[in-house]
A and B are shown apart, each in its own frame.
Chain A
C-alpha cells in the first residue's frame, strides 16, 4: 500500500495521546506516535518501555498517555519483559485463554542508554530467542533523562556532562558503537535504521514492515534531543534532515541479511552542516580544532563506504 501521509494521519489517530511531558523539540514522541500508527487499527499492542525520558514523561501516576497496554519495569530489561509478555501470549493463545480472532503486537521502546548500554544483554537475548516483537531504540546519543551523560551511542568529541569538553580532553574520545550492525549480526528477519523525515514515510514504512514481519525485528531511530544536543526546538526536523544528508545517519534496512540503502544523497553534505547547529560540538569549531572536524568527517565517510560495500556484497 502506497504511503499517503495525510491519509495516515486522518485514518489512524495517535495511539500515544497528547498531554505527556516530553520536551518541545524532542524527537522521541513523534517517532513513537508514527510507529504506533503503523499498527493496524484492529490490532491490540503491548508496549514495553525502558526507564528513561519517554517512560517518566508519559506515565506519571495516575496519568498515562498510552492508549494501548503498556508495561514499564526497569531500565535494562524492556526486551526481556516483553519477551515474557509474548511468551504468555503464545501459551494463552494455544490453550484458548485468549480470543482466536484478535491479534496483539509487541513493541519495545528504549533510549540509547537502555539499549546500547545497560539493556544490550537483555536485547540480545530476546532477539536471539526470536520472540515475535519489534524493539525500537530511540537514539538521542546520551543519557538524557539523568542529565546528558555519555553513552556508547554518543558521537566522538561530543560535549556531555561525563565527557565535558575541557582544556585537556575535548569531549568524548571514543567513536560511537554501531548497534544496528550488532543487531544485523543476530541474523534477524528485519533490521532497519530510520529517522522522522519527509512526512515520516521512511519511518512509517519500516515500522509497518517490522511490526508485520514474524519474529524479532529491530529499528534504530535517531531521535534528537534539544537539551542534550543544544539546538533550537523548532529546528528538530532540520537536524534530522542534516543527519541524513551528511550520511551521519544513513537510512537503510537489512532484510534477511541483505542490505538496502534507502537513500543515497546526490551530493553528500559536509559533516560541519550537521555539527554546527549543535552546542555539543561547539568546541570543534574553535580555531586550532579543525582536526576534530576532519577526523569526524573521515569516520562518517568510512562508515558510509562500508555500508555501500555491504549493500553490494549482500546483494551479489
Chain B
C-alpha cells in the first residue's frame, strides 16, 4: 500500500497495526504527534489499546513496565529530555527482561534547551540493555517498528527495544512509504505469550527484588548474553520480513562498499546525504562508500570491522558528543571493533549536527576530501574532529 506519511505518522500507524494492550506516553517535541495520532485510534476504536496519558515520562516508562510485567504488550514514544527523565526506568525495564517497544524520535538533550535533532538522547542510554535500531527514513522507522516485537519478545532475547529516527528531519517530513496490510502485520508480529506474568492468578510471581552481591552479577550477565543472542534473532526476523515485503535489512547497509577506499560510517537520516554525496564523489572517480549502521545495540563489532577492512581511510560520524576528549560513542565502538579484529585502517571521528545544525552535502564532501588527504599523506593528524562548527581548532 503506497502512502505519503511523516515519520511520526508512520510510527503511529505501525503501532496501530501492532495494536498493543497499553500505550503510556507524555508529549514532548518532536515525538508528540505519535501519542496524538494514537489517541485518535483509541478514541475511534480502531485499536484495543488502553492509552494511559501519564503525568511524566518517568511514569510513562513505569506504566509500560507495569503493563508489560502484567502480561500485556506495552509501547511508548518519546524524545530527548523525556528519555532522560525515563532513564532510571530504562535500566529497570531491561533488567526485568520486559520486551517493551519504544519509538525514540531523536532530539538534543538539554541544556541549554533545544528541540532539534541530534543523537544525544539515544547515546545517554546506549549501555542500558535496550536493543537500539536506527532509521534512515520514514520507511525504515516503520519497518523497524514492525520487526521490533518479534526480536524483543524472542525467548532467547527478552529485552526492550527502541526504534530511533531523526527528529523533524524524518519525523516531520512527508515521504512516500510502502505500508504493509494490517492483517499481514498482525500475523507477522504474532500474539504475545509471556511465560510468567503478574496477572496469571494461577502462578503469582514477584518481580523486582532487592538483589545483592550473591546474584546481581549473574543477572546482569544474563542480560549481556541476551544482547548477544539478539544478533541472530535480528537477522532471522529480517529474513522473514524480507519474505513478506521484499525489503532487506542487515545490521547495517553497505552503500557502494565493494571497492570503496574512503568510507563514511553514520546513522539515521545523515546516511541519505552521505549516499548522495558518495555518488557525486564517484562522478569524480573517487571510490567513496557509506556504511550506515541500523543496529547499534547489540553492536555488530566484528561484522562492521570486516566490512571496513578494505577501506583506506574511514570517517565515523557522531551526532552526539561524548565530551570525553576521546571521540564519540559510534567512533569508539567502530574503532574498538576494528582493533579487536586486527583491522588497521586510518580512522577519524567527526562530531556533527549538534542541536539540529544542518549538515550539507558540501560538508560531507569535505569529509571525503579529508579522507583522501589522509590516504595521500598517511597522516591522520587530529582524529577527534568537528564538522560545521565555529570556534573549534
Contacts and interface: CB of A to CB of B under 8 A. Distances in A.
Interface of A: 44, 46, 48, 55-56, 59-62, 64, 66-74, 76-77, 80-92, 94-95, 97-98, 102, 104, 121-122, 124-126, 128-129
15 contacts: A55-B210, A59-B209, A60-B210, A60-B212, A61-B210, A61-B212, A64-B209, A77-B62, A80-B62, A84-B66, A87-B52, A87-B72, A88-B21, A88-B67, A121-B56
Contacts of B55: 121-122, 124-125, 128
Contacts of B66: 48, 71, 73, 80-88
Contacts of A61: 209-212, 214-215
Given A71-B66, A81-B65, A88 B207 contact: no
B67 to A, nearest CB: 4
A302 B280 CA distance: 80
B386 to A, nearest CB: 38
A150 B179 CA distance: 56
Contacts of B69: 71, 84-85
B63 A80 contact: yes
Contacts of B88: 74
B58 A59 contact: no
Interface in B47-62: 48-50, 52-56, 58-59, 62
Contact of A84 (B24, B49, B200, B204): B24
Interface residues of B, number: 44
B70 interface: yes
Given A73-B96, A91-B22, A44 B58 contact: no
A76 B87 CA distance: 13
Nearest to A81: B66
A70 B203 CA distance: 11
Contacts of A83: 24, 52, 54, 59, 62-63, 66
Given A80-B62, A81-B66, A88-B72, A125 B56 contact: yes
Q: Which of A77, A87, A124 has most chain B Cβ within 10 Å?
A: A87
Contacts of B198: 46, 69-71, 85
Given A46-B198, A83-B66, A85-B66, A70 B52 contact: no
Contacts of B201: 44, 69, 102, 104
Contact of A92 (B24, B52, B72): B72
A108 B59 CA distance: 15
A84 B96 contact: no
B206 interface: yes
- List 5 A-B pairs, minimum CB-CB distance, nearest first: A84-B66, A84-B63, A125-B55, A88-B72, A80-B59
Interface in B193-239: 198-201, 204-212, 214-215
Contact of B52 (A59, A60, A129): A129
Contacts of A70: 198, 204-207
Given A61-B215, A80-B66, A129 B53 contact: yes
Interface string B24-36: 1000000000000
A95 to B, nearest CB: 5
A278 B88 CA distance: 37
A72 B209 contact: yes
B300 interface: no
B21 A125 contact: no
Contact of A95 (B48, B92, B208): B48
B208 A122 contact: no
A88 B89 contact: no
Given A59-B209, A124-B55, A74 B62 contact: yes
Contacts of A72: 207-209
A90 B48 CA distance: 10
A88 B53 CA distance: 14
A125 B48 contact: no
